Amino acid sequence: MSRLLVLLAVVALAAGLAGPALGSEKHPTQRELESELVCPACHSTLDESDSEIARQMKDYIRQRIAEGATKSQIESELVAQLGESVLGVPRKHGFDLLAWVLPIGGIILGAALLGAGAWQWSRVRAGGGGAGPLEPALDPVLERRLDEELRRFDG
């Protein structure tokens, strides 16, 4: 039952986050696009650039938003005019998908290897398997003398 509640909570959260993302696609803001697009002249985001081409791109974005263009349309038009280098983040399809998948896959693989290593290490330590005792046992004569000294010290 608790798993069902957790699953429902995750679905509700995903649905709640999907709404603003879709709204952003249909009704992008000037600030949002300027922070995601790169100036081809100075290679910084448009919101940080003040070059002539950056000002032209900002004007173009403002005009296209006023005309009701979607975020994807504006980005596609700018890519067609200026090339892929204007995108601040890689696209999420085709070869560019590797830029998203490889880091996430590396993190997941690293976490799995770390977990497996920790599990193996804890199994060896808990079971007492592997190497024997770290120090050899005391000589019986020395052990007897140590016991006598400890008794005298305690008593």
What is d(CA 88, CA 42) in angstroms, rounded to the nearest whole number?
13
Q: In this structure, which amino acid lies at residue 22?
A: L
In whole angstroms, what is the distance from residue 147 CA to residue 154 CA? 11
Least confident range from 69-78, 118-127, 136-145: namely 118-127
Number of alpha carbons in the 13 Å side-chain half-sphere of residue 102: 6
CB contact set of 47 (below 8 Å; sequence gap of 6+): 31, 34, 35
Encode 26-58: b = buried (16+ Cβ within 10 Å), e = exposed.
eebeeeebbebbbbbeeeebbbebeeeebeebb
Specify the pLDDT at position 46: 85
Cβ–Cβ under 8 Å, residues 49 and 41: yes
State the average pLDDT for the chain.
Answer: 79
Q: Which of the four pLDDT bands, split at 50, 70 and 90, describes residue 5?
A: low
Strand partners, 45: 38
Q: Is the pTM of this model over 0.75?
A: no
Both tokens assigned to 107? 């993190």
Mean pLDDT of 130-135: 57
Q: How confident is the model at residue 22 (pLDDT cuts 50, 70, 90)?
A: very low
Instruction: Give the pLDDT of residue 122.
Output: 86
